[in-house]
A = this chain, B = another copy of it.
């Protein structure tokens, strides 16, 4: 089975599907993994991360599946990334400098400076991602504010997307 380059990209695709799914019909994980040609069991674990982090909701059983847990305007790339990657995202500095300068304050001071610097950088990174919401991405890409119009659980006619695109390029400017 083909491997996704990164869990984050997979997460983005998941949100694209959950976010465009008809609001009252939960999307099944199998529908997503099929479309992404991704490992069904692993994809479920990825989706679970999104559930645990409050990005999507899940319901078990017949008619079960996944829905967005919040308004798409309240779901940012920050939320996506934190949910998928947790704190495994960035460089972590341990106590390496202690080997260079043992038993003096030099190592401790140095590490503090390093940690502050990277924390600062990480904060900038994450803050930047907070400004892009799922709503922004979907409405811009699809060209309409009513993007919850697909039932991915059924066979999807991909031509529909083309028609939509054409209609948009004539009518309104997104």
User: Chain A: residues with CB nearer than 8 A to chain B?
Assistant: 4-6, 8-10, 12-13, 16-17, 35-37, 77, 81, 91-94, 96-97, 99-107, 109-110, 113-114, 117-118, 120-122, 124-129, 131-132, 136-138, 140-142, 158, 161-162, 164-165
Docked Cα-Cα span, A106 to B105, in Å, equals 55
List B contacts of A162 (CB < 8 A): 103-104
In the complex, how many angstroms separate the beta carbon of A174 from the nearest chain B beta carbon? 9
Given contacts A37-B99, A104-B158, contact A6 B91 (CB under 8 A): yes
Docked Cα-Cα span, A12 to B103, in Å, equals 18
In the complex, how many angstroms separate the beta carbon of A95 from the nearest chain B beta carbon? 9
Given contacts A9-B93, A104-B165, A124-B125, contact A36 B99 (CB under 8 A): yes
Docked Cα-Cα span, A5 to B99, in Å, equals 14
In the complex, how many angstroms separate the beta carbon of A103 from the nearest chain B beta carbon? 6
Docked Cα-Cα span, A86 to B13, in Å, equals 26
Q: Is the CB of B36 within 8 A of A96?
A: yes
Given contacts A8-B91, A13-B97, A118-B129, contact A137 B110 (CB under 8 A): yes
Which residue of chain B is the closest to A110 with respect to CB atoms? B141
Q: Is the CB of A104 within 8 A of B164?
A: yes
In the complex, how many angstroms separate the beta carbon of A49 from the nearest chain B beta carbon? 15
Q: Is the CB of B77 within 8 A of A81?
A: no
